[in-house]
Amino acid sequence: MNNEKINNNPLLCDIETGMCETTDETTNTSSHSSVQSTEKSVKLIYYTDPICSSCWGIEPQLRKLKLEYGNTVEIEYRMGGLLPDWSYNSGGIGKPSDVADHWDEVSVHYDMPIDGDLWLEDPLDSSYPPSIAFKAAQMQDDKKAQLFMREIREMVFLKKKNIAKWEHLATAAKTVELNVEQLKIDFEGKAKELFQDDLKLGRELGVRGFPTIFFIDNVGNKEIVYGTRPYAFYEMAILKLNPNAIKSEYSKNWETLFSIYSSLTAKEYSELSGTPRKESESILNELSKKDALEKLTTKNGSIWKIKN
């Protein structure tokens, strides 16, 4: 994994650093005026991509952060443009099928279900279409846009759906109750500009891989957490900028957690409920046997959804 070339390959995520690197080498991390927060005491600028496997690995920590520090922080999602197209060959990846084994390996490392067979069956040409669709979703409703991102991630990582195809983006939009017709109009128009704005700001901030999270307080002080890290890293970044940030208590029973997040992996349930990981799997399996939850199983793990 430590081959120098790998760092230049956007789809090879380095398990040790927890980063999916871009091919852009700029590393200027100077502060930027457009990223100041006015409402909550700490603003998070989260640079990600719909097909970033390390970003799927960070979901348990991010979901917990929203529950514990949602009153203190606001999270702004920015798209990084992980896979423009297949016109490169570096780090041992030159074609979609090369990604398949890598995704399976990442899945085991993060203990989050990912099925790499997508890259053998219906590979994406680019991660730009789902990124632009996300910007279009943000134009409608920020909360729904985040639900949309989760939906398309489940599609690509667990259901092997090529989310560069409009049909899948439209299905996800409908599921999270976005206006699909409006989404299409924005997807083909204004959202493209917004995506380019994200790429430009990313270059200015020196974003070189995903996930990258900038923590910024009201006067522009900044902490940066690169890659997928344990929960304490994100919590410490908040507390460094706002030592008075108060952690919210939340109910850790399964009904409450599934009423907040309609789908959870065993790793996520473990992180959010404080239950040991093996026990989490047993609890979720029991609930699906009792028909309280619906279980979707992939070759590399499962996800449980609340039954409507």
Give the pLDDT band (50/70/90) at residue 27.
Answer: very low
Give residue 26's pLDDT band: very low, low, confident or very high (50, 70, 90).
very low
CATH value of 254-306 in 3.40.50.2300, 3.40.50.150, 3.50.50.60, 1.10.10.10: 1.10.10.10
Averaged pLDDT for residues 88-100: 77
Write out pLDDT tens, residues 226-266. Answer: 999 999 999 999 999 999 999 999 999 999 999 999 999 99
pLDDT of residue 95: 86
Does residue 200 register a pLDDT over 50? yes
Could you give the 3-state DSSP secondary structure of residue 235?
A: helix
> In this structure, what DSSP letter does residue 96 have?
T
Q: Which tokens in the block code for residue 304?
A: 């449980």
Rounded to an integer, what distance in angstroms lies between the CA atom of residue 220 and that of residue 287?
46
Q: What's the confidence (pLDDT) of residue 84?
A: 93
pTM higher than 0.85 for the full model? yes
The interaxial angle of helices 180-188 and 128-140, nearest 10 deg, is 120
CA distance 170 to 128: 15
pLDDT range class, residue 22, cuts 50, 70, 90:
low
Q: Report d(CA 305, CA 262) in Å as an integer.
A: 6
- Which residues lie closer than 8 Å to 263 by C-beta, 6 or more apart? 150, 154, 303, 304, 305, 306
Share of the chain above pLDDT 70, in %: 89
Q: What is the pLDDT of residue 13?
A: 78
Residues 7, 13, 19, CA angle at the centre, nearest 5°? Answer: 80
Residue 33: predicted pLDDT: 38
In this model, does residue 25 exceed pLDDT 80?
no
b/e per residue 44-61 (b: at least 16 CB within 10 A):
bbbbbbbbbbbbbbbbbb
User: Same topology for domains 4-210 and 254-306, yes or no?
Assistant: no
What CATH number is given for 4-210 in this structure? Answer: 3.40.30.10
Phi, psi of 214, rounded to the nearest 5 degrees: -95, 130
Q: How far apart are CA 29 and CA 207, in angstroms?
A: 8
Interval 212-231 mean pLDDT: 97
Q: How confident is the model at residue 90 (pLDDT cuts 50, 70, 90)?
A: low
- Give pLDDT, residue 89: 60
How would residue 29 be classed by pLDDT, with cut points 50, 70 and 90? very low
| Number of Cα atoms under 13 Å in the Cβ half of residue 256 | 8
- Structural domain boundaries of the chain? 4-210, 254-306
pLDDT for residue 137 is more than 60 = yes
How many Å apart are CA 44 and CA 76, to the nearest integer?
6
> Which residues 6+ apart lie within 8 Å of 61 measured at CB?
228, 229, 230, 231, 234, 271
| Rounded Cα gap, residues 240 and 144, in angstroms | 30
pLDDT score, position 88: 64
What local confidence, expressed as pLDDT, does residue 7 receive?
43
User: What is the pLDDT averaged over residues 208-224?
Assistant: 96
Rounded Cα distance between 263 and 305, Å, is: 4
- What backbone phi and psi angles, to 5 degrees, belong to 218? -65, -25
Is pLDDT at 6 greater than 70 in this prediction? no
Token pair recorded at residue 100: 């398949």
Q: Which residue has 């992180």 as its token pair?
A: 271
